[in-house]
Amino acid sequence: MIRMRVHDHRQRRIVLSGHPLSEPLRKTADVAVETVGRLTEHFAPLPAELSHAETTAVTSRCLDSLVGLLDGDAGPARLAPLEKAAAGWRECGIPLDTVLHAVHAGFALLIDRLETPLLGTANVPLAETDTLRAGIALALEWMSAVTSTITAAYLPAALPAEVHPRRTVDAGIRTTPGGSDPARRFEVLAFHITAPGESARRTVRQLRTVLTAHCGGRERARLSISGGTATVPRDVIDDGFTSALRSLARDADAGITICTLSTRSEPTAHAIDRAHSLLDVVVGLGYPPDLYHHEQMAMELQLSRRGPARERLAALLDPLDEHPHLLELLQIHLNNNCSRQYTAMTLAIHPNTVDRRLGHIATLTGCNAQSGYGAWKLHAALIARGRPPRTRPGSFPGPQPRKAP
């Protein structure tokens, strides 16, 4: 939170010609309605993501802090609602320069309000010149604090492109105040959002709604339209929370992949990095958007590490490079849980053709895709190559019976 400096003149109310300088702003709710209305009418309409009522409410709270300053009250905590609102604007993808331009235009309107009563007097008495300067200094200081608060909320999104976006959102998580309690377990959630434009903003809003509804404010989250991080106490996680996350991830329009990691104490930088490392592997392998748990992805994590063993395993499929139709069939067959009927349906070929091609694969690689161990080894080789079957966690290895279509 940005705090305003305390000057000696703040100890008294700013009064000019017998009237408090704050008097034109006292009815903050009415002033906020008028200010937001004039901005949207003459400056620009509110973005679709912003509620007119919420914007007016935040403006009113900010005006409370300005009135407090002019009346001798420091009141820096009154800008807390602005910090929260600015973080929401950032998550909705509203550019920082758009917000700051609107704030400066609004400040100009407020200055006009403060000047209007003074225009009715011939001149400010010489004895009150210092008081007027003090009032102007306070208003400018308030404006500086407002600008700094908004910019600080936007900081993760404003860092240079070479800074990994994961690091920016995680920094806010790690620096959140709060002591460590080894007796409590936490869940680290890493998010990757691929939905474009408005769909990404909607996904962020839906994700925040799920976190708020199930965690009761105990979550810590830093989200943006490209993804983010959240930490949640393990005791608030139930089937409803998991189901809500999985439903969101499997929503075709949401475009969000979620990876989770359990910790035995307060989440550390290492735990957050591990969760995002898993997310990088899942996204890099081209797995479909879903909810992925760390303990279910041990094979993928191990095979993502470079080394001689990974190279030898990937080389198992080298003979198929000259037979792309066999490589395609292998991926589809494993994706269908080794069901020859489903593989035949997917490729629009006869099941006997599937059998012949699988036999050819076994001859070239030495692994039988219709046996448990052979299928597992071929599955692992595809992962080592970065071309895994599009299965969800827990659906492999081994053939599983399916109902006939």
pLDDT digits over 63-88, tens only?
888 888 787 775 444 677 888 888 77
Which of these ranges, 130-144, 234-248, 267-281, 383-397, has the smallest mean pLDDT?
Answer: 383-397
Q: Which of 96-100, 130-134, 190-194 holds the top average pLDDT? A: 190-194
- The model's pTM is 0.53
Summarize the confidence of residues 83-111 as an average pLDDT. Answer: 80
pLDDT of residue 5: 44
- Can you tell me whether residue 315 is helix, strand or coil? helix
How far apart, in Å, are the Cα atoms of 257 and each of 193, 221, 248, 271, 379? Answer: 6, 16, 9, 18, 22
pLDDT of residue 4: 46
CATH code for the domain of 325: 1.10.10.2840
Side chain identity, residue 229: T
Residue 3: pLDDT above 50?
no
Dihedral pair phi/psi, residue 60, rounded to 5°: -65, -40
Tokens of 59: 């403006």
pLDDT of residue 296: 83
Dihedral pair phi/psi, residue 227, rounded to 5°: 145, -150
Residue 157: pLDDT above 50?
no
CATH code for the domain of 28: 1.10.490.10
Domain C-terminal end among 158, 175, 191: 158
Same domain, 208 and 258: yes
Same domain, 58 and 196: no
Nearest Cα neighbor of 211 from 235, 195, 232 is: 232
Cβ 167 vs Cβ 240: under 8 Å: no
Same domain, 48 and 139: yes
pLDDT digits over 348-359, tens only?
999 999 999 999
pLDDT of residue 178: 43
Output the average pLDDT for the chain. Answer: 76
Domain C-terminal end among 236, 271, 303: 303
Q: How many other C-beta atoms lie within 10 A of the C-beta of residue 214?
A: 19
Same domain, 123 and 181: no
Residue 187 placed within a domain: yes
Same domain, 143 and 264: no
Summarize the confidence of residues 180-207 as an average pLDDT. Answer: 81
Same domain, 135 and 23: yes
Same domain, 99 and 133: yes
Q: Which of 61-65, 188-192, 205-209, 287-291 holds the top average pLDDT? A: 188-192
Same domain, 324 and 226: no
Residue 390 placed within a domain: no
Cβ 199 vs Cβ 253: under 8 Å: yes
**Cα–Cα distance measured from residue 227 to residue 91, given in angstroms and rounded to the nearest whole number:** 10
Q: Is 236 exposed, middle or buried (0-12, 13-18, 19+ CB in 10 A)?
A: middle
Residue 34 placed within a domain: yes
Q: Is 100 exposed, middle or buried (0-12, 13-18, 19+ CB in 10 A)?
A: middle
Residue 120 placed within a domain: yes
The better pLDDT of the pair 259, 265 is held by 259
Same domain, 170 and 297: yes
Q: 318: number of CA atoms within 13 Å, CB side?
A: 6
Verify cis geometry, omega within 30 degrees of 0, for the bond prior to 397.
yes
Same domain, 149 and 233: no
pLDDT of residue 6: 40
Nearest Cα neighbor of 143 from 94, 77, 89, 79 is: 79
Number of domains in the chain: 3
pLDDT digits over 36-58, tens only?
888 777 666 666 556 677 788 88
% pLDDT > 90, the chain: 12
Same domain, 36 and 75: yes
Cβ 91 vs Cβ 157: under 8 Å: no
**Cα–Cα distance measured from residue 213 to residue 321, given in angstroms and rounded to the nearest whole number:** 50
Residue 393 placed within a domain: no
Summarize the confidence of residues 27-44 as an average pLDDT. Answer: 80
pLDDT digits over 278-316, tens only?
898 888 777 889 999 988 888 788 777 777 877 888 888
CATH code for the domain of 192: 3.30.70.270
Residue 34: pLDDT above 80?
yes
Residue 277 placed within a domain: yes
pLDDT of residue 98: 78
Which of these ranges, 104-118, 135-149, 177-191, has the smallest mean pLDDT?
Answer: 177-191
Residue 32 placed within a domain: yes
Cβ 20 vs Cβ 70: under 8 Å: yes
Summarize the confidence of residues 133-161 as an average pLDDT. Answer: 73
Side chain identity, residue 280: D
Q: How confident is the model at residue 245 (pLDDT cuts 50, 70, 90)?
A: very high
Which of these ranges, 100-109, 178-187, 367-376, has the smallest mean pLDDT?
Answer: 178-187
Residue 104: pLDDT above 60?
yes
Residue 63 is part of which domain span? 8-158
Summarize the confidence of residues 181-195 as an average pLDDT. Answer: 80
Contacts of 250 (CB under 8 A, 6+ apart): 289, 290
Dihedral pair phi/psi, residue 190, rounded to 5°: -110, 135
| Cα 18 to the center of its chain, rounded Å | 51
Same domain, 173 and 294: yes
Summarize the confidence of residues 236-259 as an average pLDDT. Answer: 90
